Amino acid sequence: MTGGDMNDQERDAVPELFTKKVTRLLPPGELEARILKFLGERRLCVLSTSRDNVPRSTPILYRNKGFTLYMAGEPGLKLGNIKLNPRVSVGIYDPKAEYSDKIDDITGVQISGHATLMGRQDSGFSDAFRLFGRPEAWAEHWFGLMIEVVPDKIEMLAMSLKNEDYAARQIWTRQA
């Protein structure tokens, strides 16, 4: 049902899911599995960097290996920002929520972590490049850098978790 198909009473009614108060946390293993599934089913994120208190957010393709994200960064401000300040934030959302009126379609993750830049000569570059499924010969001619983001904290917001009597906001933190 789209917004135009609703009558005034339906439009003004606050969905129960929206107001349902739930604080129960997912078991750690279940939270990790859901985050990994979410990361593996998507390919586009927004990488946020900053320099001199000036933030910059860049839509960029990513691949993940576990909780670690890899992005193929073309030369630009984001790479310069990471060189000066490796603290980054990454946002990823489920695009179906963009065109849905259903509250329980709202799902996304916010990742706080640190980034490392890798060139062709660096250990790990080839493995990261392979995650993108491109011919290895391309790497020889590419002049960008691979961005590796290791998360310290991942906040998952999934309104549908309330249907399972779990809090919509769940937090994973890297264990030392």
Q: What was the pLDDT predicted at 154? A: 98
Q: Which of 99, 84, 88 is nearest to 150 (CA)?
A: 88
Q: Which of 109, 110, 118, 111 is nearest to 82 (CA)?
A: 118
Is residue 16 a part of any domain in this protein?
no
Q: What is the pLDDT of residues 17-42, one digit of tens each?
A: 556 677 899 999 999 999 999 999 99
Mention every residue, 6+ apart, whose C-beta is less than 8 A from residue 106: 94, 97, 157, 158, 159
Is residue 75 a part of any domain in this protein?
yes
Q: What was the pLDDT predicted at 9? A: 63
Mention every residue, 6+ apart, whose C-beta is less than 8 A from residue 77: 49, 51, 56
- Helix (H/G/I), strand (E/B), else coil: 87: strand
Identify the domain containing residue 104 by its residue range.
34-173
Is residue 77 a part of any domain in this protein?
yes
Is residue 62 a part of any domain in this protein?
yes
Which CATH number covers residue 136?
2.30.110.10
Is residue 14 a part of any domain in this protein?
no
Q: What was the pLDDT predicted at 32? A: 98
Q: How many domains is the chain partitioned into structurally?
A: 1
Measure CA of the first residue to CA of the last residue in the chain; give whole Å.
47
Is residue 17 a part of any domain in this protein?
no
Which residue ranges of the chain lie beneath pLDDT 70? 1-20
Q: What was the pLDDT predicted at 102? A: 86
Is residue 92 a part of any domain in this protein?
yes
Cβ atoms of 86 and 115 closer than 8 Å: yes
Is residue 9 a part of any domain in this protein?
no
Give the bridge partners for 49, in sequence order. 56
Whole-prediction pTM: 0.86
